[in-house]
């Protein structure tokens, strides 16, 4: 009996769903492992854990940016780069586009995802709202790393007002 490769067996849609589940599981385990080292780390310990997650995301974002086609690297304006992040990069990582992009035209952008995949499982209770920042640090780094590869230095922060929606604020660092 001949066996089929995973690609043929699962098909494109099922493979993407499996990839998304594996990424979500890996992300959850990274967060859990960093917080398991010290279950009550206090304010300083939380900053270190968030910084580690953000750094991991930054490196993944850099690697993702390095794999982009050459024509992608020829954006003329910041807004075009952010649109690309919201549509193409977000779809590649989370199988959906960002819900909205706003700017003040002075180097600050707000990207909103109304059903952020890494927060959906937490959306069942308000008690998880204070846990949400742990699950956003990696993605902040991912955005910052991708932007860095595209030649844009930035500061990326995230906020959650109601689960599973979140906002990422990108502030471009001018030199």
pLDDT tens column, 35-80: 666 555 555 556 788 899 999 999 999 998 888 776 666 777 899 9
Domains delineated in the chain? 12-37+44-172 (3.30.1380.20)
DSSP structure string for 96-119: S--SEEEE-SSSEEEEEETT-TTT
Cα 90 from Cα 99, distance rounded (Å):
10
Cα–Cα nearest to 50, from 166, 138, 129: 138
| pTM more than 0.85 | no
Per the CB < 8 A criterion, the answer to whether 31 and 53 are in contact is: yes
Cα–Cα nearest to 109, from 83, 135, 88: 83
């Amino acid at each position: 009996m001949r066996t089929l490769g995973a690609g043929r067996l699962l098909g494109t849609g099922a493979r993407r769903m499996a990839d998304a589940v594996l990424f979500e599981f890996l992300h959850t385990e990274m967060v859990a492992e960093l917080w398991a080292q010290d279950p009550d780390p206090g304010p300083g310990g939380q900053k270190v854990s968030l910084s580690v997650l953000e750094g991991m995301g930054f490196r993944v974002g850099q690697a993702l940016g390095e794999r982009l086609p050459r024509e992608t690297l020829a954006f003329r304006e910041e807004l075009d780069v952010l649109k690309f992040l919201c549509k193409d990069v977000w779809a590649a990582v989370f199988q959906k586009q960002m819900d909205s992009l706003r700017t003040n035209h002075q180097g600050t952008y707000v990207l909103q995802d109304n059903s952020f995949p890494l927060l959906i499982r937490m959306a069942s209770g308000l008690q998880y709202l204070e846990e949400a920042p742990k699950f956003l640090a990696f993605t902040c780094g991912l955005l910052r790393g991708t932007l860095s590869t595209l030649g844009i230095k930035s500061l990326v922060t995230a906020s959650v007002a109601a689960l599973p929606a979140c906002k990422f604020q990108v502030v471009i660092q001018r030199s």
